[in-house]
Amino acid sequence: MTNIIEVVRALIDVSTVDPTTKEKMKSALVGSQGEPRDSTDVKIRRLFDHETHCLEVVKQYKEELKFMYSIQEEVRKERAQFFSTTLREVTQNLASSPIDSKVASQWLQELIRSYTQSLDLSDSLVRTDTFDMIGEIRAKARATALEPSAPSEKSMRTGNE
């Protein structure tokens, strides 16, 4: 597109019309920022269409995103409850029982290790599923970039077609 603009500008420059008309022709050809007006409108339209498509994709995954968030929240709450309430109750019960303190201490350490490992595994699985879903969302959002009417990822960053 830029080459065409340059060719038209060169043709205007070598034309035999008066300088005022040449300037009017150039300003009609190019917008105030040096870009062809039609090209700017097309870019804005493509960007708007792409953003609309991305929003629609996110809307499609809205419930899944909420579900993943709620699971992550549950794991965090369960971890907090274990260390603030459950562990304290177990420690008190062991202290009041006739179990040897060394055995109780070892058992508590094993309980903490095992429960923490279980929570970490749950958190890891949820995180993996979340990242997979984010990957799907990104892939669907990029699908418009593969369509001929959509701007490429590079052009969206640089502002060029």
* Predicted local distance difference test score (pLDDT) of residue 50: 83
Of residues 43 and 80, more confidently modeled: 80
Is the pLDDT at 4 greater than 70? The verdict is yes
Integer-rounded Cα Rg, in Å, for the chain is: 32
Q: What is the mean pLDDT of the chain?
A: 81
In this prediction, residue 153 carries a pLDDT of: 45
User: Cα(33)–Cα(154) distance, rounded to whole angstroms?
Assistant: 20
pTM: 0.54
Cβ neighbors of 54 (< 8 A, separation 6 or more) are: 141, 144
User: Domains of the chain: which residue ranges?
Assistant: 37-148
Residue whose C-alpha is closest to residue 29's, from 45, 13, 48, 46: 13
Q: How confident is the model at residue 55 (pLDDT cuts 50, 70, 90)?
A: confident
Residue 145's SS3 state is helix
State pLDDT tens for residues 101-139: 899 999 999 999 999 999 999 999 999 998 898 898 888
Q: How far apart are CA 86 and CA 48, in angstroms?
A: 52
pLDDT in tens, 10-27: 877 888 888 888 787 777
The residue to which tokens 């309430």 are assigned: 85
Burial bucket for residue 50 (CB in 10 Å: 0-12, 13-18, 19+): buried
Selected residue with higher pLDDT from 108 and 145: 108
Nearest CA among 72, 55, 71, 112 for reference residue 88:
112
Q: What is the pLDDT of residue 160?
A: 46
Reading the block at residue 56, the tokens are 């629609």
